[in-house]
């Protein structure tokens, strides 16, 4: 698995990530969602550089020109609910992509420890396509693992890109251990060093789903 840490290159992406983390900016849910969306747009652009292209003839008012367009059949997959703004950002750029959704949540069952439960899958046939699976946070890696395996019941894609805004080193190690990652790429806007006792990324940004859509019970 190739791990692409976009924070190693200084760009406008760093500004959007900084605002996501900022406890003051986080008081505005609309701004938080918009920053996730903008990060999705930037990361979609970066991933677009790795896709396959074909040339098509484009007619202009004054003639014709051969133009490169994406040849991959794209499917954007998202882990609900936190991934929705990030998904929207990807869809803004890959506007002809198909879409897949997986619900995953932490089930504490009244105790301190938790399990990840998958309740819902909606996906097209993935066979031979390029799957881009996005989620803002890669903490333990459990949600990514189970969502990926759930989607694999819908066909085997030709290529897979995993996308996280903020990933933990533990989560990345878990993914490398548990999944047959092969030629997959993992794209991160930032990689943080640790998880706390509740398995939240430190320094991270908190609960992305709550910050985007409100607290849950």
Alpha helices in the chain (DSSP H): 13-21, 29-48, 84-93, 142-151, 169-178, 208-213
Nearest residue to 163 (alpha-carbon basis) of 146, 138, 183: 138
pLDDT at 119 > cutoff 80:
no
Q: Which residue has the higher pLDDT, 190 or 181?
A: 190
Report whether CATH 3.40.50.2020 matches the domain 2-51+71-213: yes
Reply yes or no on whether the pLDDT at 112 is more than 70. no
pTM over 0.75: yes
* Mean pLDDT for the stretch of residues 48-61: 97
User: C-alpha angle with apex 132: 130 to 136, nearest 5 degrees?
Assistant: 175
């Amino acid at each position: 698995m190739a791990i692409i840490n976009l924070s190693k290159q200084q760009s406008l992406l760093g500004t959007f990530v900084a605002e996501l983390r900022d406890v003051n900016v986080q008081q505005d849910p609309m701004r938080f969602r918009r920053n996730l969306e903008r990060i999705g747009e930037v990361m979609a652009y970066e991933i677009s550089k790795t896709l396959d292209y074909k040339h098509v003839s484009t007619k202009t008012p004054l003639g014709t020109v051969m133009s490169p367009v994406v040849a991959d059949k794209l499917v954007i997959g998202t882990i609900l609910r936190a991934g929705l703004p990030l998904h929207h950002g990807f869809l803004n750029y890959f506007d002809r992509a198909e879409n897949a959704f997986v619900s995953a949540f932490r089930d504490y069952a009244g105790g301190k420890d938790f399990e990840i439960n998958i309740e819902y899958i909606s996906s097209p046939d993935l066979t031979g396509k390029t799957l881009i699976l996005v989620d803002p946070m890669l903490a333990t890696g459990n949600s990514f693992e189970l969502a990926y395996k759930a989607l694999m019941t819908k066909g085997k894609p030709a290529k897979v890109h995993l996308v996280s805004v903020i990933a933990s080193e533990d989560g990345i190690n878990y993914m490398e251990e548990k999944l047959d990652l092969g030629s997959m790429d993992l794209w991160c806007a930032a990689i943080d060093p640790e998880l706390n006792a509740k398995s939240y990324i430190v320094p991270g940004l908190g609960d992305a789903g709550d910050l985007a859509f409100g607290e849950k019970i």
